[in-house]
């Protein structure tokens, strides 16, 4: 007794198996991420180092080159690029396709630790960050104000808006573009420094000496214990102006005598503008495998809620939303899928001239296609243009098995056989033909999985989707179709 005969004799079993396939597919589809294309970008690691006040040449010779010498020895590197600018070094390491991102990041961190002993003592520790295809923002929102300074807008965006948006499910990071962090800016007056015989090093040493908060211990009593704290940090313009640079019996030189102190932006060399109006922007980047469409929709809902809570002079506007492009592209593919499904049903009806016979592939096709989503979830794939194109192509392939089985059974019924006997004999007659056809079609698409490089990564999901739908189609054709 083969699978088809078992399904004919036990129709409930065949129905339950098909229902289980559909349920598994629906569960898998609910967990799938939505993106435009498969993740084909190579692992990328960025090493950023800040050396305040250093020129680009100094940064290159003392920061970038020592780090590059250590990082170059890591296995699996495809390319290494660096950029040395005023006060900052950035090294980007691209690894070969297939390299594990976590392993690559750990290797880079180990090499950076080895290179630290060759870096200047006053340089900030190098920061190692991971990047992949999901590092590009999904949605960007602008924040502007008609009354407040850019520093105030930046502070509000960082303390109020960012915290509300970065808790969205699937969001990996919310970055603030054009941010102006408040800072105390000290502008030297060279003529005054020369007159007092001072240098910038003297000012730096004085600030490090005065602007420090040290632990001071505690005071213990018989029944109480107090923790002491020294307010050593300079917080106001007046406190900075009163810093003593040099004193002797005749004069006291303060910072206000040789420099202008004012509260401003930590970095005023760049600015972000919209229609001539300064602004900041909040860009949300997704976590790996996250549903980008759902992230954008939830982002928009929260922005609508925030608009009623921000001060009246603030304006929040969505300036970029990649989910619209993804949604439009996917809708076009889904429309093509529905058209293909409709044409298949129409052609079957034209040749068989029976609504009852046409109804069988109407059921068999969705079962085969929906069950494919469960395998996509197991393989950690996503719903994208290529996987949907695979399903469109599978529509014509999965219906073949159902038509062959149904036509062979239907012919025997027309010859006068009892439907049950026709189902047994008709399905048994072509049982191994269906299996051999399935193996042949699967063998055409399975090799795509083993392709290397960018092409292999791009079309791997496509090949798996088509091969899976063909295998499931054969199972449905040998169980559900004969039973119906």
Spell out the per-residue pLDDT of the chain, length 484, in tens: 577 777 778 888 888 888 999 999 999 888 887 877 887 767 788 898 988 878 888 889 899 999 999 898 888 888 888 988 888 899 988 888 778 878 888 999 999 998 888 888 888 889 888 765 446 788 999 998 888 888 888 888 888 898 888 888 888 778 888 888 878 888 888 888 888 888 888 888 888 887 777 777 788 877 888 877 777 677 788 888 888 888 877 788 888 888 888 887 777 777 888 777 788 899 988 876 677 888 888 999 999 999 888 888 888 999 988 888 888 888 888 888 888 888 888 887 887 777 777 788 788 888 888 899 999 999 888 888 888 888 888 887 887 777 887 777 777 877 777 777 777 777 778 788 888 888 888 888 888 888 877 788 888 888 999 999 888 888 888 887 777 7
Alpha carbon 347 to its chain's center: 42
Q: Encoding tokens for residue 171?
A: 């969001």
Domain that holds residue 82: 42-131
**Three-state SS for 461?**
helix
One domain for residues 374 and 456 = yes
Do the domain assignments include residue 152? no
Tell me, yes or no, whether 382 lies in a domain.
yes
Are both 357 and 446 inside the same structural domain?
yes
48, 24: one domain? no
Q: Which CATH number goes with the domain that contains 69? A: 3.30.70.1430
Backbone angles phi, psi at 248, to 5 degrees: -145, -165
| One domain for residues 338 and 479 | yes
Contact 167/305 with Cβ under 8 angstroms?
no
Task: Note whether residue 459 is domain-resident.
Answer: yes
pLDDT of residue 141: 92
CA distance 383 to 387: 6
Cα 350 to chain centroid distance, Å, stands at 47
> Which contacts of 325-333 are long-range, i.e. CB under 8 A and separated by 24 or more positions?
325/36, 326/34, 326/35, 326/36, 326/292, 326/293, 327/293, 329/36, 329/385, 330/34, 330/383, 330/384, 330/385, 330/388, 333/385, 333/388, 333/389, 333/392
Can you give the pLDDT at residue 134?
Answer: 46
CATH (domain of 245): 3.30.2090.10
Please tell me the distance from the alpha carbon of residue 242 to that of residue 445, in angstroms, as a whole number: 77
Question: Cβ(419)–Cβ(11) under 8 Å?
Answer: no
- Asked if 119 and 281 touch (Cβ cutoff 8 Å), the reply is no
Helices within 116-171 (DSSP H only): 150-156, 162-165
Asked if residue 339 is part of any domain, the answer here is yes
Same domain for 110 and 32: no
277 domain-assigned: no
**Residues 59-77, buried b or exposed e (16+ Cβ, 10 A)?**
bbebbbebbbebbeebebb
CA angle 463, 465, 471 (to 5 degrees): 100
Assigned domain for 285 exists:
no
Please check whether residues 9 and 52 belong to one and the same domain. Answer: no
pLDDT of amino acid 133? 43
Q: Which whole-number Å values give the CA distances from 123 to 1, 59, 119, in the listed order? A: 77, 10, 7
- Looking at the fold, whether 399 and 343 belong to one and the same domain comes out as yes
Tokens of 244: 């003593």
Q: How far apart are CA 409 and CA 427, in angstroms?
A: 7
Please report, for the domain that includes residue 425, its CATH number: 1.20.1640.10
CA dihedral 403, 406, 407, 412 (to 10 degrees): 170
Q: Which helix (H) or strand (E) holds 233?
A: none
Tally of domains in the chain: 3
pLDDT, residue 288, reads 65
Looking at the structure, do residues 340 and 355 belong to the same domain, yes or no? yes
In a domain, residue 203? The reply is: yes
Tally Cβ neighbours within 10 Å of residue 256. Answer: 16
What pLDDT sits at residue 67?
A: 92
Q: Would you state the structure tokens that stand for residue 85, as one six-digit string?
A: 């600018």
Q: What's the predicted TM-score (pTM) here?
A: 0.68
Residue 448: half-sphere exposure toward Cβ, Cα within 13 Å: 19
Same domain, 250 and 366: no
Q: What is each CA distance from 78 to 73, 95, 108, 248, in whole angstroms? A: 12, 5, 14, 61
**Residue 22 and residue 20: Cα distance in Å, rounded?**
5
Question: Are the C-beta atoms of residues 483 and 11 closer than 8 Å to each other?
Answer: yes
Task: Identify whether the C-beta of residue 100 lies closer than 8 Å to the C-beta of residue 115.
Answer: no
Give phi and psi for 86, each to the nearest 5: -60, 115
Final residue in a domain of this structure, among 66, 99, 131 = 131
**Are 340 and 412 members of one domain?**
yes
Q: Give me the count of residues in the chain.
A: 484
299 and 165 Cβ atoms separated by less than 8 Å: yes
- Looking at residue 26, its pLDDT comes to 92
Residue where a domain terminates, one of 265, 285, 310: 265
Domain identity same for 478 and 367:
yes
Is residue 461 located within the same domain as residue 404?
Answer: yes
Q: Give a yes or no: residue 56 inside a domain.
A: yes
DSSP-derived 3-state class of residue 323? helix
Q: Which residue has the tokens 């961190």?
A: 109
Q: How far apart are CA 261 and CA 279, in angstroms?
A: 25
DSSP characters over 157-226: IIIIIHHHHTTSTTEEEEEEET---EEEEEEE-HHHHHHHT--HHHHHHHHHHHS---EEEEEE-SS-EE
Which residues 6+ apart lie within 8 Å of 69 measured at CB?
115
């Amino acid at each position: 007794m083969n699978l088809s005969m078992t399904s004919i004799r036990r129709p409930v079993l065949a129905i339950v198996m098909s229902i289980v396939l559909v349920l598994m597919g629906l569960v898998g589809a609910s967990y799938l991420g939505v993106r435009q294309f498969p993740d084909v970008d190579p692992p990328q690691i960025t090493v950023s180092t800040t050396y305040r006040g250093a020129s680009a040449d100094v940064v290159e010779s003392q920061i970038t080159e020592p780090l590059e010498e250590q990082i170059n020895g890591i296995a699996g590197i495809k390319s290494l690029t660096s950029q040395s600018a005023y006060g900052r070094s950035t090294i980007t390491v691209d690894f070969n396709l297939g390299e594990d991102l976590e392993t690559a990041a750990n290797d880079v961190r180990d090499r950076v630790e080895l290179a630290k002993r060759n870096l200047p003592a006053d340089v900030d520790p190098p920061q190692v960050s991971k990047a992949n295809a999901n590092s590009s923002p999904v949605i960007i929102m602008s924040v502007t104000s008609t009354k407040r300074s850019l520093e105030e807008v930046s502070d509000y965006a960082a303390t109020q808006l960012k915290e509300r948006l970065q808790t969205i499910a699937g969001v990996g990071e919310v970055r603030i573009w054009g941010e102006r962090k408040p800072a105390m800016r000290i502008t030297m007056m060279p003529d005054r420094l020369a007159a007092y015989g001072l240098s910038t090093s003297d000012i730096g040493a004085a600030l490090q000496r005065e602007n420090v908060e040290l632990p001071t211990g505690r005071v213990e009593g018989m029944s109480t214990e107090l923790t002491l704290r020294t307010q050593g940090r300079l917080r106001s313009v007046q406190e900075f102006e009163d810093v003593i640079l040099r004193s002797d019996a005749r004069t006291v030189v303060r910072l206000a005598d040789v420099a202008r102190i004012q509260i401003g932006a930590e970095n005023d060399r760049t600015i972000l503008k919209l229609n001539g109006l300064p602004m900041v922007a909040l860009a949300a980047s997704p976590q790996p495998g996250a549903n980008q469409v759902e992230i954008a929709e939830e982002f928009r809902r929260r922005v609508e809620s925030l608009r009623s809570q921000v001060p009246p002079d603030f304006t929040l506007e969505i300036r970029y939303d990649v989910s619209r492009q993804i949604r439009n592209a996917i809708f076009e593919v889904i429309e093509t899928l529905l058209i293909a499904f409709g044409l298949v049903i129409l052609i079957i009806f034209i040749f068989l001239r029976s609504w009852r016979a046409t109804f069988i592939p109407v059921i068999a096709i969705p079962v085969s296609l929906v069950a494919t989503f469960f395998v996509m979830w197991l393989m950690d794939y996503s719903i994208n243009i290529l996987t949907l194109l695979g399903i469109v192509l599978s529509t014509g392939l999965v219906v073949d098995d159902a038509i062959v089985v149904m036509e062979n059974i239907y012919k025997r019924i027309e010859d006068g056989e009892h439907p049950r006997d026709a189902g047994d004999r008709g399905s048994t007659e072509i049982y191994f033909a269906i299996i051999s056809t399935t193996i042949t079609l699967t063998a055409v698409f399975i090799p795509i999985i083993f392709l290397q490089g960018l092409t292999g990564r791009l079309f791997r999901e496509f090949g798996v989707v088509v091969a899976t739908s063909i295998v499931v189609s054969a199972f449905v054709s040998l169980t559900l179709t004969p039973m119906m």
